[in-house]
Chain A
């Protein structure tokens, strides 16, 4: 029966229809007058009986997971959500990479160091990495002396924003990030000792001054000039 219908549709397909855009005459089983079929034209014309209603289709299958579900909870990402939304994230890259030396917060375009450029222009790869020969190392023989001024900008350290108290625990070597620590441990210790000595001397001076002040005060108390003046009434020296 279906094949008959198809043949009829083919007969009245738009290409060969002498009546132009008029609907093809298809015999209907239904005698009630209501349209029960869906007619599809095109390359594969078909007629589908779809019941007593217009445009009635099968409802889409029930999907287990839809937007009605709390997907954050479904995938167990609530922890990540609270982590990123609970506290205010710091904007700067250096707060994410605190151990990286140098200034990293500036835009990479300034010194052509963007990661985007690595993707856009891929570096040469696929070659074996070999240690340098002595002849190749000769190319790295340097002249003694400091670097010219224009190359020193990279050694500039970002200004400290936090108190060193907080950083103390973060860095095992005790040096804040981005600061140039001496390479040799002995020199490091020397400088540490020097600062310690300075601190000690400073403390000693303080104590000496205190003692002198006290002596002076005692003398003034016992001196005849001292007429029971309050400290604020003392003449400024």
Chain B
């Protein structure tokens, strides 16, 4: 059993192939090609019906609109995924860096404060524990 997305992809590919064949028929039209053309036009309608039927199976799939920008510019949409992964990784590293820095800062601050205010820091630590 193929996934809903695979079904949709197959249907769309068949539809595109149908359109391509119609293009070939009409690009140098022969009188005997009329019946074939009529069949092809009817199969276009059938193809659209099939795609329409699959609509309910893919309604929960969300696509970021930025992906469309990539496609509209003739670029590989996988580049968008790659960019997202790169950004997420960079942000992850940045946040980890901040957390580590704050941790080091906290321990250093406590260390220095306990030198200057030993009693208060002892109290503070007692509260925190």
Contact = CB atoms under 8 A, between A and B. Distances in A.
Given A129-B48, A140-B37, A67 B99 contact: yes
B31 A144 contact: yes
A130 B16 contact: no
Nearest to A115: B68
In this complex, the interface size class of chain B, counting residues with CB under 8 Å from chain A, is 35 or more
A140 B38 contact: yes
Interface in B1-25: 13, 16, 20-21, 23-25
Contact of B49 (A67, A104, A129, A183): A129
Given A59-B128, A147-B27, A84 B74 contact: no
B28 A147 contact: yes
Contacts of A51: 127
Interface of A: 51-53, 56, 59, 66-68, 70-72, 77, 80-81, 84-85, 89-93, 95-96, 99-102, 104-109, 114-116, 119, 129-132, 137, 140-147, 152, 154-155, 180, 182-183
Which are the 3 A-B pairs with shortest beta-carbon distances?
A67-B95, A115-B68, A108-B72
Interface of B: 13, 16, 20-21, 23-31, 33-34, 37-38, 41-42, 45-46, 48-49, 52, 65, 68-69, 71-79, 81-82, 85-86, 88-89, 91-92, 94-96, 98-100, 120, 123-124, 127-128
17 contacts: A67-B96, A72-B92, A77-B85, A81-B85, A84-B82, A84-B85, A89-B76, A89-B82, A90-B76, A93-B74, A102-B20, A109-B72, A115-B71, A137-B41, A140-B38, A141-B34, A144-B29
